[in-house]
Copies of this chain bind each other. A is one copy, B any other.
């Protein structure tokens, strides 16, 4: 994604504006799911009136996608003051909890391409939240660590993410939330090789 195409993004709603500032070329993942509702006033509408969704309405995959976009929008709006997107938050948490983590491991854990992890870590480094340290015993590699600012930001952002996630699940009972997590974990089982 070029800076030009990023800047060309249309947006009028509050959520869209804050999301647009997050959509930097250095972080392709930030542009990921919805990144702000596509200029939709009031955010993403999973069922736009008078639109025929055809087979999409019957797919579990598209039901997940619809939920994910709404969650992404709410996340970005909730974390706007820190410019923390879902991939950035996941990276900060994983780096904070797993000492001596290498970039390739981070990519593997987050399920993103190594090139995407490079851009993600570059963005976090620009934000002064993450630093690269020489890895002991391997001259070509380095370990990822949070900076002091990264630790402070993560502590604050974590509370905001927990509040956001509580809102995401607010229409579900505790039992329904547990059921949802259990059903999600059983989706897309590995195929035999």
Partner-B contacts on A (CB < 8 A): 1, 5-11, 20, 23, 25, 28, 31-40, 42-46, 48, 51-56, 58-71, 73-75, 77, 86, 90, 93-94, 96-98, 104, 107-119, 158, 161-162, 164-165, 167-172, 176-177, 179-181, 183-191, 193
Identity of the chain B residue whose Cβ is nearest the Cβ of A8 in the assembled complex: B115
Shortest Cβ-Cβ A-B pairs, 8 listed = A70-B188, A52-B97, A69-B111, A9-B113, A44-B111, A38-B107, A1-B28, A10-B114
Least CB distance from A9 to B in Å reads 4
Give the CA-CA distance A167 to B62 in the complex, in Å: 14
A48 touches B109 (CB 8 A): yes
For the residues of A in contact with B, the DSSP-based class is helix
Contacts A61-B168, A169-B187, A190-B42 given; indicate if A33 touches B113 (C-beta within 8 A): no
Contacts of A73 in B (CB 8 A): 111, 188
Given the known inter-chain contacts A9-B113, A119-B1, A183-B172, please indicate yes or no for A67 contacting B162, CB distance below 8 A: no
A77 CB → nearest B CB, Å? 8
- Beyond A40-B108, A111-B33, A179-B179, whether A98 also contacts B51 by CB under 8 A is yes
Q: Which of B40, B98, B111 contacts A40 (CB 8 A)?
A: B111
Contact A38 B71 (CB under 8 A): no
In the complex, 6 of the A-B residue pairs with CB atoms within 8 angstroms, ordered by the A residue number, are A6-B115, A8-B114, A31-B113, A54-B93, A58-B165, A60-B165
Bound-state CA distance A185–B46 (Å) is 9
Expressed in whole angstroms, the minimum distance between the Cβ of A123 and any Cβ of chain B is 12
Excluding A52-B97, A60-B165, 5 further A-B contacts by CB distance (< 8 Å) are A5-B115, A45-B108, A51-B109, A56-B93, A60-B180
Residues in B neighbouring A109, C-beta threshold 8 A: 48, 51
Residues of B within 8 A of A66 (CB): 111, 184-185
